[in-house]
A and B are shown apart, each in its own frame.
Chain A
Amino acid sequence: MKRLLSIALSTLLLSFSLSVQAVSSAQDSIKNSVEDSKGTFSINYVPKRIVVLELSFVDALAAVGVSPVGIADDKDPERILKEIRKEISDWTSVGTRSQPSLETIAALKPDLIIADISRHEGVYADLQKIAPTLILPSRRATYEENLHATAIIGKAIGKDKEMQARLKKHAQIMAEFAKQLPEGKEVQFGVARDDALFLHTADSYAGGVIRALGLKNANTGRSDDAYRQTSLEQFLAVNPDYFIVGNYVTPSIVDKWKNEPLWSVLKAAKNHHIYSVNPNTWSRCRGIISAETMGQDLIKVFNTNK
């Protein structure tokens, strides 16, 4: 029975892929060629079954209404933002982002894989054996790099026009947000865990978004790292006007620090400018939709302030 099913399924798939090929040969002119992190990537059909191995790529696909068939979501659908989950149809988890299951990816019979240069370079060759693989920066990518990668994805999946339009709209939305936000205010984002606070510096994705919204990054000193673990003493030196915190756990270390006398010395604490946000949106997702959500968060912050 199972075998019958698998035969039926594979014939179905075969005919499906044949039809895709037929379409693409009919429109041979669609040959998309883009520059990814490993050189030139070209594809001569419109990919229908896409597997993505980082969360930021889901964001990029969702922005032009494409649903991936497989996502490396660490087997936790909650990792993907509510706003994005609404946009895409059901997907199959392909395991963790750091070690996705290649078998599951192969079983999904994808016709395009989008991988992260920092995490998946080691299996790039294997991924290519499964399907054409577009490899782009995601982890450690700044806001600008991320926009660039998004544009590349749009072109590769044959939705260049839509993606350009979406990016333009994104720029407009961000500019709109920037108008509503006070200019040049100093905002610092940090992720708080049980026993450590990590500041996202100017080099990080969140730092880039904050700048794009016309706000200012706090000076965190040495800036060779996107994330910096910070003690209370160092945090006193950073002393941002506004402090946005994403708590991975509650009570986090920031909640503990709030009880200490020194905490009240902080500008943000004195003026009650400490706000908590969803750390998933701010730290993990990194994409245009999450950037817009971050903008909305910030507007909420500054509006409650008035």
Chain B
Amino acid sequence: MATRSLPILLLALLGLLVANLMFGAVSIPFKSILEGFQVGNANYFTVHEYRFPRTILAMLVGAMMALAGALVQGVIRNPLASPDVLGVSHGAGLAAVFYMTFFPDADIRWLPAVALIGSLIAALMLWWLCGQHSSTIKLAITGVALAALYASCIDFLMLVKPLEINNALLWLTGSLWGRGWNQLSMLLPWLLLIPFALWLAKPLNLIHLGDDSAISLGIKANKLRLASLAIAVGLTASCVAICGPIGFLGLVAPHLTRKLVGGRHQILLPSTMLVGAILLLLADLVARTIDPPIELPAGIMTAIIGAPYFLWLLLRTK
């Protein structure tokens, strides 16, 4: 099954990459795209400065968020879990909204850094509250409770300073608008986490057999969990810092992939990255082309596409 799905996924990804370069508020024929990479071409800005980095960014962010989702679901062993239950994206959101409401005149370029710090603090909070030895489900629920706390602080800030609501909401929905080479270069160092995550695939399979058998097979279950969650936090934090919390990717992509290629993590993890990239590319493409020149945030599209699918999936596989 996996061997059949992978080429199709790759093809779909390639197709979407090209489509993302071609379509938008203005359509550019395929031939002109290649010319658009040359400095001085009429399409140079649209292709090279705007669509290309944005497309690559969508691909990477989609892949990383999906990978984080697969790791979290693998560790918590609950299909409803997602990086959101770690409270990381809400922590980033709180930091970002705080920054936007209290320093409206400050330089917006610092926003990713602020969001990153917020999400890392949120991860530390979770770690501090749960410690090393609590059960994963308890970890998840603590994360949820923390997320609720951050969410209520976000609401409070937005209500006290209503002028910033729209800006804050836009950020909180997750969008690729206006993201370019700069943001791409900020994301690059975090790509280093991906090989580590893939390296965890084999032990993650064993942990699915149950803690006892995993331990007897020589795997320290707790350390593995910790490592997986830490990587998931890193992946999510970096993505959220740059694009805002794009909802449902981390939840839906691993599900979809599991249906396509099965649950073995060696195949699941790489394929889920493909699926995540495809989903976000699709969402951004639709968000840009549905009613040009209006640009909807990609996060809205992932929610609209992802949410019903997720419900349907859950009701069927219950």
Contact = CB atoms under 8 A, between A and B. Distances in A.
A226 B177 contact: no
A74 B295 CA distance: 10
Interface of B: 24-26, 29, 42, 45-46, 49-51, 104, 107-109, 111, 161-163, 166-167, 170, 175, 177-178, 180, 182, 288, 291-295, 297
Contacts of B166: 98
A130 B45 contact: yes
A18 B297 CA distance: 38
B50 A104 contact: no
Given A103-B24, A122-B111, A225-B161, 14 more contacts: A3-B29, A10-B42, A75-B293, A95-B294, A96-B294, A100-B293, A100-B295, A101-B292, A101-B295, A118-B104, A122-B109, A140-B104, A225-B163, A226-B163
Nearest to A10: B42
Contacts of B108: 121-122
The 9 closest A-B CB pairs, nearest first, are A101-B293, A95-B293, A123-B178, A104-B293, A104-B25, A103-B25, A122-B108, A107-B26, A101-B25
B6 to A, nearest CB: 33
Interface in A91-135: 92-96, 98-104, 106-107, 118-119, 121-123, 125-126, 129-130
Contact of B292 (A104, A106, A119, A121): A104
Contacts, number: 83
Nearest to B26: A107
Contacts of A2: 29
Contacts of B178: 99, 102, 122-123, 126
Q: Which of B46, B175, B288: most chain A Cβ within 10 A?
A: B46
Nearest to B177: A99
Contact of B291 (A75, A102, A140, A226): A75
Interface in A48-107: 74-75, 92-96, 98-104, 106-107
A48 B29 CA distance: 28
A20 B29 CA distance: 29
A102 B51 CA distance: 10
Contacts of B111: 122
Interface in A8-44: 10
Q: Which of A102, A118, A226: most chain B Cβ within 10 A?
A: A102
A229 B166 CA distance: 15
A227 interface: yes
A100 B182 CA distance: 19
A107 B163 contact: no
A108 to B, nearest CB: 10
Interface string A226-257: 11010000000000000000000000000000
Contact of B50 (A122, A126, A140, A225): A126
A129 B294 contact: no
A2 B28 CA distance: 11
Given A75-B293, A93-B293, A125-B182, A104 B26 contact: yes
